[in-house]
């Protein structure tokens, strides 16, 4: 069973506590929304899960392991992070091809993920000419390259137009219906309340709520 688990995790930066004894678990087959105001600690939590930083205390686990211990991480977990940047002179397809090869994934995955995110027709274009929405799609293509059972998207609707927002909603629903673990963050509750099955709400690094959307919002 794929899983994401944060166990009593704490992380401080120069005295600022970004994540404070946070614990939650994400189950497969449902979309879990990760909600909290800007600065609440959502990105930090995702970075810790991805091994981009180490927690000061606690455990941040992907499929029961620390990221650093996973063999071929892209086949375990795919992520779209806020700060993901691709060099502007890079062509979308070449970027994905490089990523596929450095992770020992078949070249054929590149065409598949470009199709999946709707970028097939611009695969040969340079990323420098992409809109923010297209860059988000490219980041999602990279996240899906290894067909991972766990996906994490940090504020994926940033820069997307209304069609793009609908597209992301449908994509995360599909990924969950395939039995994947899906964690999607937003600082806006309303962006997640129709998409997510469960909500993990954080504020100042601490867990505020971990519940179904129906229970939290009193809907039936
Ligand atoms: P969110 O993703 O919910 O907006 P973040 O995880 O980005 O929140 O930030 C949580 C807190 O940690 C904020 O106070 C932020 O300023 C701080 N923080 C995050 N990353 C760093 C860093 N690399 N250096 C210093 N402070 C950081
Ligand atoms: P080791 O496991 O051999 O100590 P690592 O490279 O895995 O070395 O981790 C370096 C430091 O960061 C260690 O103190 C480790 O406990 C901590 N660390 C790294 N990743 C995680 C994680 N996902 N959860 C908890 N602690 C972690």
Is the reported ipTM for this assembly greater than 0.85? Answer: no
Residue 9 near ligand 1, beta carbon < 6 Å: no
**Top-confidence residue, 82 or 77:** 77
Give the number of whichever ligand sits closest to the CA of residue 154.
1
Q: Which of 10, 11, 13, 204 to mutate to test the pocket of ligand 1 (most atoms within 8 A of CB)?
A: 13
Closest-CA residue, ligand 2 atom 8, reads 68
Which class for 136: exposed (0-12), middle (13-18), buried (19 or more C-beta within 10 A)?
buried
pLDDT at res. 84: 62
In the predicted model, is pLDDT for residue 83 greater than 80?
no
How close is the Cα of 200 to the center of ligand 2, in Å?
24
Task: Detail the DSSP E strand segments found in the chain.
Answer: 4-13, 16-26, 31-35, 57-62, 77-80, 150-154, 181-186, 198-203, 206-212
User: Is the separation of the CB atoms in 148 and 75 below 8 Å?
Assistant: yes
Closest-CA residue, ligand 1 atom 27, reads 13
pLDDT digits (tens, 9 = 90+) for 85-124: 889 999 999 999 999 999 999 999 999 999 999 999 999 9
Confidence of residue 51 (pLDDT cuts 50, 70, 90): very high
User: Is the separation of the CB atoms in 18 and 44 below 8 Å?
Assistant: yes
Distance (Å) of CA 101 to CA 64, 119, 145, 217: 26, 20, 11, 45
Residue 59 near ligand 2, beta carbon < 6 Å: yes
Residue 16 near ligand 1, beta carbon < 6 Å: yes
pLDDT at res. 220: 58
Average pLDDT taken over every residue of the chain: 95
User: Is the separation of the CB atoms in 189 and 202 below 8 Å?
Assistant: no
Give the number of whichever ligand sits closest to the CA of residue 16.
1
Give the number of whichever ligand sits closest to the CA of residue 47.
1
Confidence of residue 2 (pLDDT cuts 50, 70, 90): very high
In the predicted model, is pLDDT for residue 152 greater than 80?
yes
């Amino acid at each position: 069973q794929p899983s994401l688990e944060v166990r009593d995790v704490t992380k401080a930066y120069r005295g600022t506590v970004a994540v404070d004894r946070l614990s939650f678990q994400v189950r497969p087959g449902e979309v879990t929304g990760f909600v909290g105001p800007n600065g609440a600690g959502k990105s930090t939590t995702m970075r810790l899960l991805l091994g981009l930083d180490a927690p000061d205390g606690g455990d941040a686990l992907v499929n029961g392991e620390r990221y650093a211990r996973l063999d071929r991480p892209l086949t375990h977990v795919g992520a779209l992070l806020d700060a993901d940047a691709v060099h502007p002179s890079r062509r979308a397809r070449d970027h994905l091809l490089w990523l596929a090869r450095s992770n020992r994934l078949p070249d054929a995955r590149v065409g598949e993920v470009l199709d999946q995110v709707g970028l097939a027709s611009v695969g040969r274009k340079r990323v420098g000419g992409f809109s923010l929405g297209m860059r988000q799609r490219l980041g999602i293509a990279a996240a899906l390259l290894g067909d991972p059972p766990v996906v994490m998207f940090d504020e994926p609707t940033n820069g997307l137009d209304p069609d793009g927002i609908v597209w992301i909603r449908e994509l995360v629903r599909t990924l969950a219906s395939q039995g994947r673990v899906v964690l999607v963050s937003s600082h806006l509750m309303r962006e997640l309340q129709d998409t997510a099955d469960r909500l993990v709400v954080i504020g100042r690094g601490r867990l505020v709520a971990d519940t179904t959307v129906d229970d939290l919002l009193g809907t039936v």
